[in-house]
Structure 1
Amino acid sequence: MDVFFEAEPSVEAFEKKLHGIYEQTQASTVLVFAADENNWTAEALNPVLLQAKASVLGGIFPQIIYAQQNYSKGVVFVALQSAVEWASLSGLSDITNNFDRQLEPLAEHWEAMPVPAIQLVLVDGLSTCISAMIDALFMNFGLVNNFIGGGAGSLSFMQKPCLLTPKGMLMDATLLVRLPLASGVGVSHGWQAISQSFKVTSSEKTCVKQLDWKPAFDAYQQVVEAHSGQEFNADNFYDLAKFYPFGVNKLDAEMIVRDPLMLSTDQAMVCVGEVPEGSFVRILNGTEESLLAAAAEACKRAQAAHRQQTDHPVQLGCFINCISRVLFEGDHLKNEIAKVSGDYPLFGALTLGEIANSGKDYLEFYNKTAVLGLLSEVES
């Protein structure tokens, strides 16, 4: 596995770098994490993807990570010598979509292949049925493999093609890539509850409409304004809400964080990821110190999980972190990246939601959460 970086955001520079990587490494597969501010379009990029000598698989994210730095422009490439299996699922906002039917034959095929392996799961982060797909993924694949990934897309919150495949760019879809690698995955978020539990008495997909039978924003506003000493107005919803996500209570597990993005026209709170009706949520807050501690904890858990799976040294680190943590921490994000760095190349993305399990825990779609995957090649 070799990692490369290209700072120039143009499609022409991407094509030139991709060709150079192939000539240098003879890679069968190249994973690509690109930044949204490159301003690529499907019309410009698809010919490159279709004609590439290696299979190009990846996504376009709000920001990307290479070495000790996050970037709003540029591309990270990970060259793999082995060919990998991949699949895509369409209709990620279609509530009638039967994800089980699409995943069942894929699971049967992939489970017959040698282990260990880790699945890279990339989704259009602005789709509205992500959690339903993640549940189907877990029900079909179980705990046989680890999973890591996240939501691609733009901070403009305009949905557009954001997943890269050898057949072109995809929108409102899921990309699954089976990587024949040993791995250890660690997950932690660092947010703490500042309110009592509220029952979600009305919600639809990613929209929270009522808490305890009252308008959701009314309850949320009261808690947040009292804690922060600031007031919401017509223009500052996310400027304040980014410090106060929801935590969805889970039995015997750390709360799953949901990031409120905006208010809809009927004052429902639109989140990244579904918030099930009947679930219980609390309002959370964090500090720079608690988020740094969470990154360190994710690294500790990933190291322990990696040691349990293989005695091979770590060759590569994949850091999936939420873009809203960047909006929270600003330039101090470099301190969080330092917490997950080691004597291995580090790459990753700042995403619209994170996807992970450790091979032991339930697969989840997270928000505002640090996820580290430590990767190693093993003999066939």
Structure 2
Amino acid sequence: MTTDAIEQALDDSALPSVGAGILALLPEAEKDRLPLLQAACRRRGIALVGAVFPALIEHHQFSGSGAWLLYFDRMPPHFLLPAINAAGDSALARLVSAARGGLEHCPVNTPKPTLFMIFDGMLPNIASILDGLYLELSNRVEYAGVNAGSETFQPMPCLFDESRLVGDGVLALLLPGHMAPVLEHGFQQPEHTMSATSTEGNRIAMIDWRPAFDVYQEIIKAQYGIDLTRENFYEYAVHFPVGILRANGDVVVRIPVALADDGSLFCVGEIPENSMLILLEAPGAGAHGCIAHLAENLRTIHGDLSGAQLLTFYCAGRRMHLGQEAEKELLELRAATEVGEMAGALSLGEIGSTVRWGYPMFHNATLVCTPWKRA
């Protein structure tokens, strides 16, 4: 991310002189070099949007340096909304208004676009926003996205365009219909269910009318023989997420990331009050046919992927669980899809559905992939 390297990349891109744009993915370690990229794009009149992530995916490995520049010969409709929960219009109203404005500029008589959203991962109400968004836009778009920010879960401005770097917001693009992403997590559903009897946002206060940690602790002991304590909570929690059981049988994963003094559990993503929960055991690399299923779904929607470029987002919590096996899973994905190149980032939560045309949900521990075709 030097000035010379950026200028060389832009020279090599052969972007048109009018209407072109870039979606940039930066690792957290390179965030201080963003002004170099912004200045270069402003000088050339290139539209720029992007986000800062914990790390990048480079082929089938994770990297903390450089940047991915994803080119558009014609920049699609896009918008950046900072401080989305600030006083005034609601977050949902602002997002719906911006999305509808973007849809007016999408080509007619083409496959429906994908509303691809990148949220600041520190926003506490992403799942609620998605619920409202679907009620307003219904099936006018497909839905997908990821969360950006720091893996430390400390607030950090992480969304940008050619002149701004902001936090607490959302960046969205209306991607062409041929770029519909696919999401997969590979978790299997156990039999035992419980109820989140008291919640607030991403905090589970009580499960089955008892302090959440007490119940979580007991079930891990009963099902897996592990003596969970406050001292070893952070060692084990990433391996035993909770799942929200949806009416259609789908499971939405929530990874506990903090334990409060009163026994409350804090997760990445909201937990609706009185939702049915299950305790999950995070799968091993490629377990339950996860990668094969993801590759097959990609082929079903997009056809043969041999030699193609695959944009891939991989959950930071999933990498934390799998450790070095995470890169093995990326290698398996590349082999299963037979793509020529993989590019993407480590994300802090993912958006989409495990079925085509499904309801958009906020997930943890998933992979989100789409073929990248320069448009």
Which range, TM-score by smaller chain? 0.7 to 0.9
Residue 132 of structure 2 corresponds to which residue in structure 1? Answer: 136
Unmatched runs of 5 consecutive residues or more in structure 1: 1-12
Q: How far, CA to CA, are the matches of 2:70 and 2:96 in structure 1?
A: 29
Residue 319 of structure 1 corresponds to which residue in structure 2? Answer: 312
Q: How many percent identity over aligned positions?
A: 23
Residue 5 of structure 1 corresponds to which residue in structure 2? Answer: none
Counterparts of residues 1-380 of structure 1 (less than 5 Å): 13-27=1-15, 28-38=20-30, 40-41=31-32, 45-46=34-35, 48-49=37-38, 52=41, 53=44, 54-92=46-84, 98-112=90-104, 113-114=106-107, 115-116=110-111, 117-180=113-176, 182-194=178-190, 196-289=192-285, 291=287, 293-307=289-303, 315-341=308-334, 342-357=338-353, 360-376=357-373
SS at match of 1:70: strand
- Contact preservation (8 Å) 2:306, 2:340: no
Cα gap change, 1:215/1:356 in structure 2, threshold over 3 Å: closer, same or farther?
Answer: same
- Contact preservation (8 Å) 2:22, 2:72: yes
Q: How far, CA to CA, are the matches of 2:207 and 2:371 in structure 1?
A: 39
Residue 8 of structure 1 corresponds to which residue in structure 2? Answer: none
- Contact preservation (8 Å) 1:184, 1:303: no
- The alignment's C-alpha RMSD in Å is 2.6
Cα gap change, 1:314/1:273 in structure 2, threshold over 3 Å: closer, same or farther?
Answer: farther
Cα distance, 1:136 vs. partner?
2.9
Cα gap change, 1:377/1:153 in structure 2, threshold over 3 Å: closer, same or farther?
Answer: closer
- Contact preservation (8 Å) 1:314, 1:375: no
Cα gap change, 1:157/1:103 in structure 2, threshold over 3 Å: closer, same or farther?
Answer: closer
Q: How far, CA to CA, are the matches of 1:322 and 1:147 in structure 2?
A: 18
The structure carrying a bigger strand percent of its residues is: 1
Q: How far, CA to CA, are the matches of 2:163 and 2:4 in structure 1?
A: 19
SS at match of 1:336: helix
Give TM-score scaled by structure 2 length. 0.87
Cα distance, 1:239 vs. partner?
1.5
- Contact preservation (8 Å) 2:285, 2:328: no
**How many residue pairs align between the two structures?**
360
Q: Match of 2:290, as an amino acid?
A: A
Cα distance, 1:241 vs. partner?
0.5
SS at match of 2:324: helix
Q: How far, CA to CA, are the matches of 2:344 and 2:34 in structure 1?
A: 21
Cα gap change, 1:314/1:128 in structure 2, threshold over 3 Å: closer, same or farther?
Answer: farther
Q: Could you give the per-residue CA deviations for residues 232-268 of structure 1, whole angstroms, max 9, x where no partner exists? A: 3444322201111011011114201011111134331
Q: How far, CA to CA, are the matches of 1:14 and 1:137 in structure 2?
A: 39
Q: Could you give the per-residue CA deviations for residues 121-146 of structure 1, whole angstroms, max 9, x where no partner exists? A: 10111210111222233233332333
Give TM-score scaled by structure 1 length. 0.86
Cα gap change, 1:253/1:17 in structure 2, threshold over 3 Å: closer, same or farther?
Answer: farther
Q: Match of 2:359, as an amino acid?
A: Y
Q: Could you give the per-residue CA deviations for residues 287-343 of structure 1, whole angstroms, max 9, x where no partner exists? A: 315547212212211221224xxx998843111221111111122222211233223
- Contact preservation (8 Å) 1:35, 1:63: yes
- Contact preservation (8 Å) 1:36, 1:62: yes
Residue 9 of structure 1 corresponds to which residue in structure 2? Answer: none
- Contact preservation (8 Å) 2:351, 2:360: yes
- Contact preservation (8 Å) 1:189, 1:291: no
| More moved, 237-246 vs 52-61 | 52-61
Cα gap change, 1:316/1:142 in structure 2, threshold over 3 Å: closer, same or farther?
Answer: farther
Cα gap change, 1:200/1:14 in structure 2, threshold over 3 Å: closer, same or farther?
Answer: farther
